[in-house]
């Protein structure tokens, strides 16, 4: 169905972003590209669908249904949209017109793209809504639909033009496990209808469920191709293995820590409201040395607020917080920020920042050396400026900085949300390592429940 | 229309009606006290406004004070105004003696005509240009338009007015320079105001259009297979008009209330102009009447904008 | 300043909008003509002329907005003004006074009808005057005992002699309207007069249009229709003058005049008005009660400088209280005001002042410090006040300026707190300056006149003039009054007013009235 020969993506000034790649997609068989952010997998999909961002150009040959579509003009390529190529949207809710009824947005594909008359198009669209079990949602506006419903409507809308080749770019981004499985099912159903499905994902599970063939991409190169079962269970390339292992769901479960020791902090019945709306109420928790506690919840639910409250950075509306350390030992409770550049001066070598800190708290050099070794950081790194080390390294250096102060408590506020999966794993491992070797307790805030459940002793959901 | 939308509509009307009553009362009372606080003896002022400064002296002022009962206490007069207002009797002008409702109605009518015509014309200028500019952002057309709109914005309105008068009235003798009468008198002040309004709104239209064009749903519609024109027609207009309509409402209010300069330049008998004169003459009933009328227009315009936005944007229906 | 910028702006932009300068302009013009609305083009073809002035139309009430109706020739009064500034018959053909000067008989013109068809009768006149008498205006000050109709004349019986009755009957507040024009409360609902024009449309505050009346008793108008537009901005009136084919534009500023002078289609006419900017002085003030001090103040003022550089018309500097156009009251024997700062200082020394280290005049340990009240309703007043402040400082008078409401002049007069005020005074609200001169400089002074100043000789002369201003003694009395004002300075005159009017050259017969009572529109002809 789709044959790609030496397809590459370049910037206008000739920088190669995706190196030439060739592959073939057979109708009735899934083709899934798996890779990290920045691996070029999305660009590859866009090069095929012809919706590359401005400033990027594709080179190479693309044959769709035996038509050499790379020779077509841009307008003719765009004319394939809907009729020949179906592109599933990444963010279904935002992809629907907020001012139009759901059914109209499906109907217009049948009517305008496929050319049905108005009543046939309406009938077709209603039928579609019934097929996805949404007959009640036809005359709702997108803001009245749940995320899952919107996804199904967008799925119908994007397919209403009649295309049999579907490009799905990260269709499960930011979704929970159930919804992810729904989408995988949808895509499977297409494959079973002998259509072509070309999927881009970072989620190994999705690749598993779709089956067919997978391509592993890294930094613009395809490093491994093969049958999905084969590649995902017996990867030939070590990077593929790393990628598989980086999924928090595949992390080894951390050993639970007992809470026999006296607590470090004991909070009771905390509540907070903002703008007249309660964020949370009656939250109680206690932390013991060596424990990791996770806080999860939707964005804006007050996860960070709870942590800042414990640190005394924000007042609580009600409840009590009791610390084991004395009032003059405030530095025993530390915060690890989402963005580590916040804590290091941008234009001085990291060593200077560390030296200033150690001087202030009378900390010996050997302690720094020990911590760097423990977190597997090369000591020469700290002679660089913050912008000269990678994001993952900087976050681990921030952990070192926090640990220098011998804290009893660390509040880690989304410490890995800006990092990709492999780096995330390294940073979380560093934190787990720190807990193992000292009596510190950590509270991690994250939106990734899988991550929290694999490392935390206790989970609070707000 | 959905029941929810109808409910929201009724909510808007109810809320705005309550607001209208409060605005009218508040503005009327504030005007009453503000007029007392203005400099100069009120009886002298009214006498001067009525008979001219030359015929005004302490004896005419005294007769005015007697006639109008200005020696009565403030509260008595305020209560009297409130009582009269409740029966829709807004009194007579202290200067001309004609009923406030007649005089304010006359000038308000002219102001609304001018403001309405200007807004309509500005829409006809700004919407096509803004939409066109957003189709190719940063093109020479977009940049030229931005340049024109910035230059036009930086020129005071009355300078635009004088230029237009010089071109169309003095040089070509096509249109009257000033005054009011048939339709031809409306053209130049309308064009003057519309150019000034369009200079601002064209950028609002452009930005709104660009926002819609770059929106995920716009791109999704394209990728669904609809052409650019089809997409724009089906998903563009309605969405881009939501912020534009709200902006036009604000513009309408500002020009009803703030075109004294243009009104005097074109000798247009608008409400701003008459309000200024009434303030000078301490013609309190007219000041109150004009200010209350303006306040009510403000409320009415907001209600219209709310309703327009409600009809354009179903998300508004969910709020109450 | 604003006017200057606008003039400059006009001069800069003119070459660009001149169609002769640019051929593409011609195309633009052509296309615009096509695009222009037919209605706009048609309206220019009608035989109408336009009058524009800054005075807004207020109401139908003769005392409030009546001046517009008499000026426009809709309504008339018993007496009118001739081109020499004297009284002439209008609705009254002649008038006489009894020997005891207490009974006046005004004979009415025959065969005059109001525009509603009613005949002008003595009863109609008396009805109109009865209403006017109750409202502010010169008639209120006339000691009338009764008004009676006798044949075709109106007989006024006065309490005491009052020579100004005919002048008062020329004031617009005494316009004669049809009895049907009034409602039962005496309010006017319809302006029904006897003049050469009828109201076509009256839309206050800015527009009035009139049409000629074919059965007018006197010289019939030649122009079919005239529109009056009140435009408060001078720029607007100037632009209208340039764009309308036939226009009379009143009261233009100096900057516009100097530009319009060069327009080949327009003539500029001007006339001195009986309006004067004066400094009102409180004669009870411990310093200013001394005549030397007032003389010093007068000599300190550089009237020529203010007139020429500030107001751009050197001829409006005062040489005495009233301008030559009011010939009866302009006394050519008087020595004109002089500017002499050195002499002014000498006069202050003569009055017992010394000058302190800062150069300020001091007497009895007190610095000569006064506050001048003025108002911005006439925008030139604060400017002139500033100039006077500088000029007073040069002779050691420290003067503050308080710009407030015009009401503070009569107010300050009444409560005695006023020291000096710069004000604009119309000395001829009726067709003779005598009325206001008599009240301003007679016994007791007046809100807009002398304050705490009395001169028995002047008061007697004015009383005599009020009894009879036509006898042999009248000239001598007027000379006495004008000389006393010149020497004793109950008020200090500064600047006269000049009315500048721009007239289209295709209008013939336009004349200006120093009292601004009439535009004499029925005498105007439109020539090709």
Domain boundaries, chain A: 2-247, 265-461
In a domain, B37, yes or no: yes
The pLDDT of A121-126, averaged and rounded, is 91
- The residue from B53, B86, B119 where one domain ends is B86
In a domain, B93, yes or no: no
Give the tens place of pLDDT for each residue, C251-296.
Answer: 888 888 888 999 999 999 988 888 999 999 999 999 999 999 999 9
In a domain, B92, yes or no: no
Task: State the pTM of this model.
Answer: 0.74
- Give residue C38's pLDDT band: very low, low, confident or very high (50, 70, 90): very low
Query: Within this chain, do residues B211 and B65 fall inside the same structural domain, yes or no?
Result: no
Residues listed for chain A: 462
What is the Cα–Cα distance from B293 to B28, expressed in whole angstroms?
Answer: 10
Domain count, chain B: 2
The minimum CA-CA distance between C407 and chain B, rounded to whole Å, is: 6
CA-wise closest residue to B184 among B161, B168, B195, B162? B168
- Give residue B263's pLDDT band: very low, low, confident or very high (50, 70, 90): confident
Chains A and C: 3 or more CB pairs within 8 Å of each other: no
Query: Within this chain, do residues B122 and B227 fall inside the same structural domain, yes or no?
Result: yes
- Give residue C396's pLDDT band: very low, low, confident or very high (50, 70, 90): very high
Query: Within this chain, do residues B24 and B64 fall inside the same structural domain, yes or no?
Result: yes
Token pair 């409702």 in the structure block, residue: B101
CA-wise closest residue to C191 among C203, C201, C207, C177? C177
* Residue numbers of B between 52 and 91 with CB closer than 8 Å to A: none
The minimum CA-CA distance between A139 and chain B, rounded to whole Å, is: 10
Show the domain range for B56.
15-86
In a domain, B271, yes or no: yes
The minimum CA-CA distance between C227 and chain B, rounded to whole Å, is: 10
What is the pLDDT at residue B318?
52
Measured between beta carbons, which residues in chain B are less than 8 angstroms from residue C37? 183-184, 187
Query: Within this chain, do residues B69 and B106 fall inside the same structural domain, yes or no?
Result: no
Q: In sequence order, what DSSP letters do the residues of A360-407 get, joined into one string?
A: HHT--HHHHHHHHHHTT--GGGGGS-GGGS-HHHHHHHHHHHHHHT--
What is the Cα–Cα distance from A410 to A431, expressed in whole angstroms?
Answer: 10
Q: Quick one: tokens of C507?
A: 């209008």
What is the Cα–Cα distance from C444 to A29, expressed in whole angstroms?
Answer: 115
What is the Cα–Cα distance from A292 to A435, expressed in whole angstroms?
Answer: 8
CB neighbour list of residue C58: distance below 8 Å, 6 or more residues apart: B50, B95, B96, C64, C65, C204, C205
In a domain, B8, yes or no: no
CA–chain centroid gap for A439, Å, is 31
Question: What fold is seen in the domain A2-247?
Answer: Rossmann fold (3.40.50)
What is the Cα–Cα distance from B7 to A120, expressed in whole angstroms?
Answer: 34
Measured between beta carbons, which residues in chain C are less than 8 angstroms from residue B274? 205
CA–chain centroid gap for C522, Å, is 22
Would you call C49 exposed, middle or buried from its count of C-beta atoms within 10 A (0-12, 13-18, 19+)? buried
Same CATH topology for A2-247 and A265-461? yes
Q: Quick one: tokens of A122?
A: 């309406």
CA-wise closest residue to A105 among A128, A85, A83, A132? A128
What is the pLDDT at residue C94?
92
CB neighbour list of residue A103: distance below 8 Å, 6 or more residues apart: A122, A125, A126, A129, A138, A139
Mean per-residue pLDDT over chain C, rounded: 86
CB neighbour list of residue B67: distance below 8 Å, 6 or more residues apart: none
Asked if the model's pLDDT at residue C14 lies above 60, the reply is: no
What is the Cα–Cα distance from A29 to A190, expressed in whole angstroms?
Answer: 10
- The domain that holds B113 is classified in CATH as 1.10.3720.10
- The residue from B60, B86, B112 where one domain ends is B86
What is the Cα–Cα distance from B265 to A384, expressed in whole angstroms?
Answer: 68
- Say if the Cβ atoms of B184 and C429 lie within 8 Å: no
- Establish if B92 touches chain C: CB-CB under 8 angstroms: no
Are A320 and A271 contacting, i.e. CB atoms less than 8 angstroms apart? no
Query: Within this chain, do residues B176 and B298 fall inside the same structural domain, yes or no?
Result: yes
What is the Cα–Cα distance from C79 to C57, expressed in whole angstroms?
Answer: 23
The Cβ of residue C75 has, within 10 Å, a number of other Cβ atoms equal to 29
Neighbours of chain B (3+ CB pairs under 8 A): A, C
Q: Give the chain B residue whose CA is nearest to the CA of C230.
A: B267
What is the pLDDT at residue A257?
67
The minimum CA-CA distance between A370 and chain B, rounded to whole Å, is: 50
In a domain, B287, yes or no: yes
The pLDDT of C45-52, averaged and rounded, is 77
- Establish if B313 touches chain A: CB-CB under 8 angstroms: yes
The pLDDT of B11-21, averaged and rounded, is 89
Quick one: DSSP state of residue C516? -
Please report which helix (H) or strand (E) contains residue C88, including its range. Answer: strand C87-89
Instruction: Give the three-class secondary structure for A340.
Output: helix
In a domain, B3, yes or no: no
- Give residue A40's pLDDT band: very low, low, confident or very high (50, 70, 90): confident
- Say if the Cβ atoms of B45 and C235 lie within 8 Å: no
Q: Give the chain A residue whose CA is nearest to the CA of B225.
A: A82
Query: Within this chain, do residues B259 and B141 fall inside the same structural domain, yes or no?
Result: yes
The pLDDT of A15-21, averaged and rounded, is 86
The Cβ of residue B30 has, within 10 Å, a number of other Cβ atoms equal to 13
What is the pLDDT at residue B258?
65
Q: How many helices (H) and strands (E) does chain C have?
A: 16, 21
Are C441 and C450 contacting, i.e. CB atoms less than 8 angstroms apart? yes
Shortest CB distance from A113 goes to which of B224, B314, B318? B224
Give the tens place of pLDDT for each residue, B228-254.
Answer: 899 999 999 989 998 899 899 888 888
Quick one: DSSP state of residue A260? -
- Give residue C136's pLDDT band: very low, low, confident or very high (50, 70, 90): confident
What is the Cα–Cα distance from A453 to A462, expressed in whole angstroms?
Answer: 15
Please report which helix (H) or strand (E) contains residue A309, including its range. Answer: helix A303-310
The minimum CA-CA distance between A103 and chain B, rounded to whole Å, is: 14
The pLDDT of C451-457, averaged and rounded, is 93
Cite the beta strand spans of C22-70 per DSSP E. Answer: 48-53
Asked if the model's pLDDT at residue A18 lies above 50, the reply is: yes
Are C521 and C223 contacting, i.e. CB atoms less than 8 angstroms apart? yes
Are C76 and C175 contacting, i.e. CB atoms less than 8 angstroms apart? yes
Q: Quick one: tokens of A212?
A: 């067919």
Query: Within this chain, do residues B128 and B241 fall inside the same structural domain, yes or no?
Result: yes
* φ and ψ at residue C234, rounded to 5 degrees: -60, -35
Token pair 């002998």 in the structure block, residue: A194
Asked if the model's pLDDT at residue A308 lies above 70, the reply is: yes
What is the pLDDT at residue A232?
86
What is the Cα–Cα distance from A393 to A423, expressed in whole angstroms?
Answer: 9
ipTM above 0.85 for this complex: no
Query: Within this chain, do residues B282 and B199 fall inside the same structural domain, yes or no?
Result: yes
Please report which helix (H) or strand (E) contains residue C229, including its range. Answer: strand C225-230
The pLDDT of A402-422, averaged and rounded, is 83
Domain A265-461, CATH among 3.40.50.280, 3.40.50.300, 3.30.1330.60, 3.40.50.2000: 3.40.50.300
Query: Within this chain, do residues B271 and B125 fall inside the same structural domain, yes or no?
Result: yes
- Establish if B224 touches chain A: CB-CB under 8 angstroms: yes
Shortest CB distance from A161 goes to which of B215, B224, B239? B224
Query: Within this chain, do residues B53 and B106 fall inside the same structural domain, yes or no?
Result: no
Query: Within this chain, do residues B56 and B118 fall inside the same structural domain, yes or no?
Result: no
Helix, strand, coil percentages for chain A (3-state, nearest 5): 40, 25, 35
- The residue from B55, B86, B117 where one domain ends is B86
In a domain, B7, yes or no: no
């Amino acid at each position: 169905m789709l044959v790609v020969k030496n397809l590459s993506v370049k910037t206008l000034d000739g920088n190669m972003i995706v190196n030439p790649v060739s592959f073939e997609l057979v109708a009735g068989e899934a083709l899934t590209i798996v890779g990290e952010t920045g691996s070029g997998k999305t660009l590859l999909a866009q090069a095929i669908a012809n919706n590359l961002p401005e400033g990027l150009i594709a080179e190479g040959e693309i044959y769709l249904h035996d038509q050499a579509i790379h020779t077509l003009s841009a307008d003719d390529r765009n004319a394939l949209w809907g009729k020949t190529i179906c592109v599933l949207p990444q963010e279904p809710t935002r992809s629907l017109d907020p001012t139009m009824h759901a059914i109209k947005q499906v109907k217009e594909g049948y009517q305008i793209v496929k050319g049905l008359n108005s009543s046939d198009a309406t009938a077709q669209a209603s039928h579609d809504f019934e097929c996805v079990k949404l007959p009640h949602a036809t005359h709702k506006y997108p803001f009245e639909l749940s995320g899952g419903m919107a996804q199904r409507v967008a799925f119908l809308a994007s397919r209403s033009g009649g295309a049999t080749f579907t490009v799905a770019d990260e269709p499960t981004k930011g979704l929970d496990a159930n919804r992810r499985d729904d989408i995988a099912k949808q895509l499977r159903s297409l494959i079973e209808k002998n259509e072509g499905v070309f999927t881009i994902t970072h989620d190994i599970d999705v690749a598993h469920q779709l089956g067919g063939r997978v391509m592993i991409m890294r930094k613009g190169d395809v490093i491994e191709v093969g049958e999905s079962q084969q590649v995902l269970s017996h990867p030939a390339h070590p990077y593929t293995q790393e990628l598989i292992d980086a999924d928090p769901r595949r992390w080894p479960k951390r050993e639970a820590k007992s809470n026999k020791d006296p607590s470090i902090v004991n909070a009771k019945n905390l509540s907070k409201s903002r703008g007249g709306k309660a964020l949370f109420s009656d939250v109680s928790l206690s932390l013991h040395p060596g424990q990791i506690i996770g806080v999860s919840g939707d964005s804006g639910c007050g996860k960070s607020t709870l942590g800042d409250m414990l640190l005394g950075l924000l007042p609580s509306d009600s409840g009590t917080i009791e610390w084991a350390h004395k009032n003059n030992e405030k530095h025993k409770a530390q915060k690890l920020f989402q963005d580590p550049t916040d804590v290091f001066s941008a234009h001085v070598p990291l060593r200077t920042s560390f030296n200033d800190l150690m001087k202030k708290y009378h900390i010996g050099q050997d302690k720094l050396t020990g911590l760097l070794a423990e977190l597997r950081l090369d000591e020469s790194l700290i002679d660089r400026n913050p912008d000269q080390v990678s994001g993952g390294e900087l976050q681990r250096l921030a952990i070192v900085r926090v640990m220098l102060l011998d804290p009893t408590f660390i509040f880690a506020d989304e410490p890995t949300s800006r990092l990709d999966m492999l780096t995330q794993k390294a940073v979380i491992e560093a934190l787990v390592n720190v807990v193992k070797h000292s009596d510190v307790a950590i509270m991690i805030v994250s939106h990734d429940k899988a991550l929290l459940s694999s490392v935390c002793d206790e989970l609070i959901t707000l | 229309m959905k029941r929810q939308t109808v409910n929201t509509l009724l909510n808007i009307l109810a809320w705005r009606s309550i607001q209208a009553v409060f605005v009218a009362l508040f503005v009327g009372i504030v005007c009453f006290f503000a007029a007392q606080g203005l400099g100069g003896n009120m009886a002298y002022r009214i006498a001067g406004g009525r008979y001219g400064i030359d015929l005004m002296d302490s004896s005419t002022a005294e007769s005015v004070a007697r006639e109008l009962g200005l020696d009565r206490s403030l509260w008595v007069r305020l209560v009297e105004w409130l009582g009269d207002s409740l029966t829709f009797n807004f009194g007579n002008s202290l200067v001309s003696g004609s009923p406030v409702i007649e005089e304010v109605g006359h000038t308000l009518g002219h102001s609304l005509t001018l403001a309405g015509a200007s807004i309509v014309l500005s829409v006809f200028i700004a919407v096509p240009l803004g939409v066109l500019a957003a189709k190719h952002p940063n093109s020479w057309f977009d940049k030229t338009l931005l340049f024109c709109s910035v230059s036009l914005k930086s020129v005071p309105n009355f300078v635009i007015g004088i230029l237009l008068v010089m071109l169309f009235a003095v040089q070509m003798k096509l249109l009257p320079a000033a005054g009011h009468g048939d339709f031809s008198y409306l053209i130049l002040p309308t064009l003057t105001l519309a150019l000034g309004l369009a200079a601002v709104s064209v950028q609002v239209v452009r930005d709104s259009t660009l926002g819609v064009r770059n929106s995920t749903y716009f791109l999704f519609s394209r990728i669904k297979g609809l052409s650019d024109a089809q997409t724009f027609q089906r998903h563009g207009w309605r969405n881009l008009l939501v912020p534009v309509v709200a902006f036009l409402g604000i513009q309408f209010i500002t020009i009803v209330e703030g075109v004294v300069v243009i009104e005097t330049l074109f000798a247009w008998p608008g409400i701003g102009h008459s309000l200024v004169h009434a303030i000078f003459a301490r013609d309190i009933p007219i000041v109150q009447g004009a200010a209350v009328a303006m306040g009510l227009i403000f409320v009415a315009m907001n209600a219209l904008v709310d309703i327009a936005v409600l009809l354009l944007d179903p998300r508004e229906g969910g709020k109450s | 300043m604003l006017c200057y910028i606008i003039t400059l702006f006009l001069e800069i932009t003119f070459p660009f909008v001149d169609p002769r300068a640019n051929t593409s302009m011609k195309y633009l013009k052509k296309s615009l003509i096509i695009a222009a609305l037919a209605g706009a083009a048609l309206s220019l073809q009608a035989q109408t002329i336009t009058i524009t002035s800054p005075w807004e139309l207020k109401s139908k009430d003769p005392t409030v907005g009546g001046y517009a109706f008499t000026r426009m020739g809709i309504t008339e009064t018993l007496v009118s003004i001739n081109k020499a500034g004297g009284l002439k018959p209008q609705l009254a053909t002649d008038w006489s006074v009894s020997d005891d000067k207490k009974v006046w008989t005004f004979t009415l013109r025959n065969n005059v009808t109001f525009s509603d068809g009613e005949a002008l009768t003595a009863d109609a006149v008396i009805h109109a005057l009865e209403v006017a008498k109750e409202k502010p205006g010169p008639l209120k000050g006339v000691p009338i005992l009764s008004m009676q109709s006798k044949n075709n004349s109106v007989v006024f019986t006065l309490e005491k002699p009052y020579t100004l009755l005919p002048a008062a009957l020329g004031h617009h507040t005494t316009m004669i309207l049809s009895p049907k024009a009034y409602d039962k409360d005496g309010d006017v609902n319809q302006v029904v007069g006897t003049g050469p024009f009828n109201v076509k449309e009256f839309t206050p505050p800015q527009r009035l249009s009139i049409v000629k009346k074919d059965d007018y008793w006197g010289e019939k108008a030649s122009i079919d229709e005239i529109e009056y537009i009140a435009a408060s901005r001078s720029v607007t009136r100037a632009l209208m003058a340039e764009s309308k084919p036939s226009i009379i534009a009143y009261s233009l500023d100096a900057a516009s005049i100097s530009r319009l002078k060069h327009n080949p289609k327009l003539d500029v006419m001007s006339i001195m008005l009986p309006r004067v900017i004066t400094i009102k002085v409180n004669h009870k003030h411990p310093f200013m009660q001394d005549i030397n001090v007032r003389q010093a103040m007068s000599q300190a003022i550089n009237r020529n400088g203010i007139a020429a550089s500030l107001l751009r018309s050197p001829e409006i500097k005062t040489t005495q209280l009233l301008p030559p156009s009011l010939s009866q009251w302009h006394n050519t024997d008087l020595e004109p005001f002089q500017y002499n700062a050195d002499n002014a200082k000498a006069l202050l020394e003569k009055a017992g002042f010394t000058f302190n280290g800062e150069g300020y005049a001091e007497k009895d340990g007190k610095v000569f410090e006064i506050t001048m009240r003025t108002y911005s309703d006439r925008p030139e007043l604060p400017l002139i006040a500033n100039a006077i402040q500088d000029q007073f400082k040069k002779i050691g008078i420290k003067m503050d300026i308080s710009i407030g409401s015009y009401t503070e002049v009569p107010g300050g007069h009444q409560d005695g707190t006023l020291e000096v005020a710069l004000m604009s005074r119309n000395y001829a609200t009726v067709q003779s300056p005598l009325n206001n001169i008599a009240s301003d400089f007679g016994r007791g002074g007046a809100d807009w006149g002398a304050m705490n100043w009395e001169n028995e000789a002047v008061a007697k002369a004015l009383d005599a003039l009020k009894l009879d201003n036509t006898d042999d003694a009248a000239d001598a009395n007027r000379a006495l009054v004008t000389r006393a004002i010149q020497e004793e300075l109950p008020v200090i005159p500064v600047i006269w007013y000049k009315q500048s009017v721009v007239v289209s050259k295709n209008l013939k017969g336009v004349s200006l009235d120093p009292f601004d009572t009439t535009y004499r529109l029925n005498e105007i002809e439109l020539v090709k």
